[in-house]
Amino acid sequence: MKKEIIELIKELEKKDAEERIQGLPVSVRMRNITPDVGLFLNILVKATKSTSILEIGTSNGYSTIWLGLAAKYNNGKMLTLEVDPRKVTMAKENFSRANLEDTVSIIEGDAKESIKQLDKEFDFVFIDAEKEDYIEYFDLVFPKVKIGGIIVADNVVSHAEQLKVYCDHVRANPDTQSVLVPIGRGEEVTLKIR
């Protein structure tokens, strides 16, 4: 990884840590994934040779950078969805700094509506948005995921009680295999098997 990208990642990690220490409300702070999850997602995308990646919930683009770098490594493309215009602006600046403008595209607006408009198939999907909407996001995106594709949902340990229904939902689907990976704030990794 290039020095300037490592510096950018460290800068975003520091900002996220400071916002959490300050106790900023969830609606204001960046809500980034942990560094180990960033690396995990990057490795997973590379290992699966995913070239079409979708992220639901961009924030300032921290997780997008990890995923986007893997997409670029695979000669792929990434699409990320974010509702907050302020975060979209920050994310675009960070994509530029990470030299990912040719790899990552962002759509501003309600992710549910954006997903309905998407007419493409994805190898890899990362869900990290409003927890109460996870099942709806999954159900909207699942038909657009190729067989052998992966959907990863963040926060299934940190929000275990709230996201138990999501985990139960994906595990009950006869067309998936799904497992909780206890890193960061908990990742539910779901494979589309048919």
Residue ranges of domains in the chain = 32-192
pLDDT of residue 51: 98
| Residue 180: Cβ within 10 Å count | 16
pLDDT of residue 73: 98
| Residue 117: Cβ within 10 Å count | 8
Distance CA 36, CA 131 (A): 21
Instruction: pLDDT band for 6, please (50, 70, 90 cuts).
Output: very high
pLDDT of residue 25: 82
pLDDT surpassing 80 at residue 140? yes
The 10s digit of each residue's pLDDT in 20-45 is: 888 888 777 778 999 999 999 999 99
Instruction: pLDDT band for 54, please (50, 70, 90 cuts).
Output: very high
Distance CA 81, CA 59 (A): 9
pLDDT of residue 79: 98
pLDDT of residue 1: 84
Q: What angle do CA 132, 136, 137 make, to 5 degrees?
A: 95
Average pLDDT, rounded, for the chain = 96
Instruction: pLDDT band for 165, please (50, 70, 90 cuts).
Output: very high
Quick one: which of 68, 53, 26, 61 has its CA closest to 155? 26
pLDDT surpassing 90 at residue 98? yes
Q: What is the CATH number of domain 32-192?
A: 3.40.50.150
The average pLDDT across 68-88 equals 97
The average pLDDT across 148-160 equals 98
Strand 187-192 versus strand 145-154 pairing type:
antiparallel
pTM given for the model: 0.95
